[in-house]
C-alpha cells in the first residue's frame, strides 16, 4: 500500500497502516491468485452462457477473452482500465473495473483506484458477492490511506456483510479491528476478533493472541 495521505498522520495511524501493510505482505499474493481464478471462471462461465443463449451477442465474448488474456499475462492497471472503457456497459467491463481499481491501488495511485472502483456495480451470485466484498474492502483501504477512519469502518463492515466467504470475511474483520485500534476503541477491536472466532471456530488458534478474556 502506498503512503500517500491527504491529512496529517498521528502515531497511532502510522502504526495501524504499518499493520495493514504487513497483512497485505502476508496474504496479498495468495488473495490475488484466488481472485484471478474466480474472475477467469466467472468470465468463462458468462461467455459460455452468452454464446449458448444469444449467438448474436458477441461483445461480451470478445470482452471476456480480452480480460482473460490480460489476467493471464499479469497485465497492468492501464490494460484493465482500457477494457473498462472499450467494453463499457458489459459484465466483463464491470469485473475489469475491480481489477483496474485493485491494480491502481497496489501502484499507489489512489485517484485512479477510486475512479475505477466507482465504476463497479454490485452483482449477484457466489462469485459476485465475493467481488462485491472485495470492492468495499479496497475502498476501505483507500479510506485508511486518506486517514478517513470513519469511512474505512463503514466500508469494511459493508465488505463483511456482502459475503460470507471465510477468507474475505476474516480479512475484513481483521482490518476493521485495526481501524478500531487506531480509533482507540480496544473493546470494539476485541469484538472483531471474537466475531471471527464465533463465525469460524477454526480461527481460534490463529487469533487467540489478540483476544483478551
pLDDT at 135 over 90: yes
Give 119's contacts (C-beta < 8 A, 6+ positions apart).
Answer: 84, 93, 94, 97
Distance CA 4, CA 142 (A): 10
Contact call for residues 42 and 49 (beta carbons, < 8 A): no
How do residues 82-130 score in pLDDT, each as one tens digit? 999 999 988 889 999 999 999 999 899 999 999 999 999 998 888 889 8
Contact call for residues 58 and 5 (beta carbons, < 8 A): no
Coil, strand or helix at 76 = coil
What's the whole-model pTM score?
0.76
In the predicted model, what is the mean pLDDT of residues 189-202? Answer: 92
Amino acid at each position: 500500500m502506498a503512503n500517500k495521505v491527504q491529512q496529517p498522520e498521528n502515531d497511532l495511524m502510522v502504526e495501524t497502516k504499518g499493520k495493514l501493510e504487513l497483512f497485505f505482505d502476508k496474504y496479498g499474493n495468495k488473495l490475488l491468485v484466488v481472485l484471478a481464478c474466480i474472475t477467469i471462471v466467472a468470465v468463462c462461465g458468462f461467455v459460455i452462457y452468452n454464446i449458448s443463449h444469444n449467438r448474436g451477442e458477441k461483445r461480451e465474448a470478445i470482452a471476456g477473452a480480452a480480460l482473460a488474456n490480460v489476467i493471464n499475462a499479469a497485465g497492468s492497471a492501464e490494460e484493465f482500465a482500457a477494457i473498462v472503457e472499450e467494453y463499457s456497459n458489459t459484465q466483463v467491463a464491470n469485473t475489469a473495473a475491480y481489477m483496474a481499481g485493485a491494480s491502481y491501488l497496489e501502484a499507489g495511485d489512489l485517484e485512479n483506484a477510486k475512479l475505477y472502483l466507482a465504476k463497479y456495480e454490485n452483482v449477484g451470485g457466489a462469485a459476485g458477492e465475493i467481488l462485491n466484498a472485495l470492492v468495499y474492502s479496497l475502498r476501505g483501504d483507500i479510506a485508511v490511506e486518506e486517514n478517513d477512519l470513519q469511512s474505512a469502518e463503514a466500508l469494511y463492515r459493508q465488505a463483511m456483510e456482502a459475503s460470507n466467504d471465510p477468507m474475505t470475511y476474516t480479512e475484513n474483520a481483521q482490518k476493521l479491528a485495526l481501524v478500531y485500534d487506531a480509533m482507540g476503541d480496544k473493546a470494539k477491536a476485541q469484538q472483531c476478533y471474537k466475531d471471527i472466532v464465533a463465525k469460524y471456530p477454526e480461527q481460534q488458534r490463529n487469533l487467540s493472541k489478540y483476544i483478551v478474556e
